[in-house]
Amino acid sequence: MNPTNGIDSKFRFVILAAKRAKQLLHGDKPKIKTKAKNPIRIAQEEVRFGAVDYDIVEPKFEETREPEDEGFIGEVIGGEEEVEEEVRRPSRGRRVKEEPEPDEEELELEEKEEEEEENYEGSEEDDEK
């Protein structure tokens, strides 16, 4: 017997054997005698020796799609101008927390605190003298 028995590709062989193995797992009886106990091995041998029937179904002409004139990414379509958008890189798990800008009141408070610190430091220097 021809071990490949007309199987034209490895892909077709794998698909046929997988479908037959499922049938064997669901209770079908093996079609050939073999020493193998594993349903996958039995299915592979059945396909190799031609015990599994299959049909190659050709797609109908109506079912095949022709490419449409949609264009490519980045191509200007129909006279429309391309709009550039800012591209953000994905953060690799780390998020940067943006701090809000301080308002006028906060700025005034910070300036007062700085002045008080300067005055306090100046008074300590006077004490040392």
CA 95/CA 50 separation, integer angstroms: 60
Instruction: Identify the band that residue 122 occupies on the pLDDT scale cut at 50, 70 and 90.
Output: low
Could you tell me which of 93, 7, 72 has the C-alpha nearest to residue 45? 7
- Mean pLDDT calculated for residue range 66-87: 59
Question: For residue 60, what pLDDT is reported?
Answer: 74
Please state, in angstroms and as integers, the Cα–Cα distance from residue 67 to each residue in 10, 46, 71, 75, following that order.
Answer: 29, 40, 10, 16
Instruction: Identify the band that residue 1 occupies on the pLDDT scale cut at 50, 70 and 90.
Output: very low
CA 77/CA 65 separation, integer angstroms: 22
CA 78/CA 75 separation, integer angstroms: 10
